[in-house]
Amino acid sequence: MDLHGDFHVYDTTLRDGAQQEGLNLSVADKLTIARQLDGLGVGYIEGGWPGANPKDTEFFRRAAAELDLKHARLTAFGSTRRAGVRAADDPQVAALRDSGASVVTLVAKSHDRHVDLALRTTLEENLAMVRDTVGHLRAEGQEVFLDAEHFFDGYRANRDYALEVLRTAYDAGASVVALCDTNGGMLPDWVSDVVHDVIDTTGVRVGIHAHNDSGCAVANSLAAIDAGATHVQGCINGYGERTGNADLVTVVANLELKLARSVLPPGLLGDATRIAHAVADVTNFPPASRQPYVGSSAFAHKAGLHASAIKVDPDLYQHTQPERVGNDMRLLVSDMAGRASIELKGRELGFDLSSSPSLLASVTARVKELEATGFTFEAADASFELLLEEMVTGARPTYFEVESWRVITETSPLGEAVSEATVKLRASGERHVVTGEGNGPVNALDQALRTAIGQAFPEVVKFELIDYKVRILDQGHGTDAITRVLIETSDGESSWVTVGVGHNVIEASWGALVDGLTYGLRRQGV
């Protein structure tokens, strides 16, 4: 088999990505993410370091029975043998051998100072450690990749020795030697020069493993590939230690959509957005809205000039079609919006405003007027849809009439604050007076409002407040400043965002809560 004839997409989210600050994955989490990565079509999934910790050892044990990978090969990560010990006798090497993984990625020192200061051994012994470990695992039937740690820094310090580490691994049977920018300080031209030199001098198959400390991980990966690397490592969503690893989806999308290189199985790139967000749900790190290709803002347009052009041809302000990565174009409604933005956003939500220029002008003016008082509809599509319904039909959707509401917060001698809210409203011809308790005034209001409405509309039992954001506007006015609240509500299948504005956080929250429940009932077809 000619290994130089294909291209490797290698994901290290479960190992290197899991080193991100605050990211903790259970074995079940890792199994779930592995299935998602396989759905993207990556060629290799680095599962972790068996033998280094119980969690990774358990992952490989369960993966053998529970993972049915269709595209990827599961890879075990570990280090070369210890100095002075045969590879066959090293417990860490044994854990790699017994992991059940058909591929092992060995990390080896390629920087002479690291050999001296970290391994505390000789340069020759480090080469022997590489040679023995690669040869042993190959003899046991496993494919071996080598991660040359701190390679670019080592190359600058001692080029001849760094290249000798690569030759040693390759001659011992390693299929790929990945050049690691472990400190993330390289720039694309530097990477290109080094990769060209490595390939011309050694003839080894080169991979690239880039970190993002200089903000160039994706660019450095592409530069290495352009220079001849045929194996790229990275993490979905750019996870990783410090500022992260190369965002694998961005690298792959650039290769496929910009450079016409087919590196994933046909058709799977279209699942990239869904998979990136699904993995984010598991890691509990919300995906960055401005993430290239798959972020919620990646194809979002706000300025009226953009919207006018997009109305004529969407490609005028988009570098590629969002559908190719499974994303969508979004029109943001804001005080920067012109009529074209409002018209396109209305069409997106099911309202055709093109036949009524006067109505379109009225909606545009109303949006600008509301935003001047503190509202924002960029992220609050649900509130904007209710506004459109009101202006198009002349009546705002309503399922209840509120008589009054109030909130009381008291503190016990133990210092625990408890909030109690009372809501009086009429729904379905009946008057409801309900009191709710919560760990804060907004929580208490939410409980009371949903309980009161629920007596008339049992559909609200599905609704749950899942996110709550507060922003203080005009902060120079101190406690008299305007407050904006964004609330995300879910019915278990999807979610929607509403906005409220008021002179205090409770008043603003009430408006967003009412909109959230109103929109939810409308969505349920009530």
Same domain for 333 and 419, yes or no, is no
Residue 497 near residue 380, CB atoms below 8 Å: yes
Other Cβ atoms less than 10 A from the Cβ of 91: the count is 10
> What is the spatial distance between Cα 288 and Cα 279, in angstroms, rounded to a whole number?
12
Residue 519 placed within a domain: yes
For residue 153, what are its two tokens? 């820094």
pLDDT at 241: 94
> What is the spatial distance between Cα 140 and Cα 123, in angstroms, rounded to a whole number?
26
Cα-Cα-Cα-Cα torsion 123, 124, 129, 130, nearest 10 degrees, comes to 80
DSSP string, 62-77: HHHHH---SS-EEEEE
Per-residue pLDDT for 277 more than 90?
no
H/E element, 8:
strand 8-11
Question: What integer is the mean pLDDT of 377-381?
Answer: 74
Residue 312, helix vs strand vs coil? helix
Same domain for 97 and 157, yes or no, is yes
Same domain for 148 and 204, yes or no, is yes
DSSP 8-state secondary structure symbol assigned to residue 458: G
Angle at 321 between CA 320 and CA 322, to 5 degrees: 110
> pTM here?
0.69
Residue 457 placed within a domain: yes
Which residues on adjacent β-strands are paired with residue 107? 79, 147
> What is the spatial distance between Cα 448 and Cα 513, in angstroms, rounded to a whole number?
11
For 440: left if phi > 0, alpha if psi spans -120 to 50, otherwise beta; the answer is beta
Residue 278 placed within a domain: yes
Token pair 């694998």 in the structure block, residue: 248
Residue 108 placed within a domain: yes
From the list 147, 144, 166, the residue with the least C-alpha distance to 155 is: 166
Residue 352, helix vs strand vs coil? coil
Domain-terminating residue out of 371, 390, 424: 371
For residue 324, what are its two tokens? 């190719």
Per-residue pLDDT for 324 more than 50?
yes
Which residues on adjacent β-strands are paired with residue 512? none
Sorting pLDDT into bands at 50, 70 and 90, what band is 311? low
Q: Residues in the chain, how many?
A: 526
> What is the spatial distance between Cα 163 and Cα 179, in angstroms, rounded to a whole number?
10
Same domain for 514 and 471, yes or no, is yes
CA distances from 142 to 39, 60, 101 (A): 24, 15, 8
Per-residue pLDDT for 404 more than 60?
yes
The single-letter code of the amino acid at 252 is V
Residue 394 placed within a domain: no
> What is the spatial distance between Cα 30 and Cα 236, in angstroms, rounded to a whole number?
13
For residue 183, what are its two tokens? 């400190």
C-alpha distance across the termini of the chain, in Å:
62
pLDDT at 1: 31
Residue 15 placed within a domain: yes
The domain that contains 41 carries what CATH number? 3.20.20.70
Domain-terminating residue out of 352, 371, 390: 371
pLDDT at 336: 46
> What is the spatial distance between Cα 352 and Cα 423, in angstroms, rounded to a whole number?
37
Same domain for 243 and 270, yes or no, is yes
pLDDT at 286: 72
Same domain for 316 and 451, yes or no, is no
Sorting pLDDT into bands at 50, 70 and 90, what band is 313? low
Residue 236 near residue 273, CB atoms below 8 Å: no
Question: What integer is the mean pLDDT of 336-357?
Answer: 71
Same domain for 260 and 309, yes or no, is no
Other Cβ atoms less than 10 A from the Cβ of 163: the count is 20
Sorting pLDDT into bands at 50, 70 and 90, what band is 316? low
Name the least confident of 93-102, 191-200, 473-482, 498-507. 473-482
Sorting pLDDT into bands at 50, 70 and 90, what band is 422? very high
pLDDT at 339: 62
Domain of 435, in residue numbers:
401-523
Residue 354 placed within a domain: yes
Same domain for 277 and 314, yes or no, is no
The single-letter code of the amino acid at 286 is P
Residue 193 placed within a domain: yes
pLDDT per residue over 111-145, tens digit each?
Answer: 999 998 888 999 999 999 999 999 999 999 999 99
Per-residue pLDDT for 240 more than 80?
yes
Same domain for 239 and 149, yes or no, is yes
Residue 8 near residue 230, CB atoms below 8 Å: yes
The domain that contains 514 carries what CATH number? 3.30.160.270
Same domain for 341 and 270, yes or no, is no
- Number of domains the chain is built from: 3
Same domain for 405 and 333, yes or no, is no
Residue 88, helix vs strand vs coil? helix
Which residues on adjacent β-strands are paired with residue 483? 472, 502
Higher pLDDT: 411 or 500? It is 500
Question: What integer is the mean pLDDT of 200-207?
Answer: 96
The single-letter code of the amino acid at 9 is V
DSSP 8-state secondary structure symbol assigned to residue 430: E
pLDDT at 126: 93
Same domain for 21 and 161, yes or no, is yes
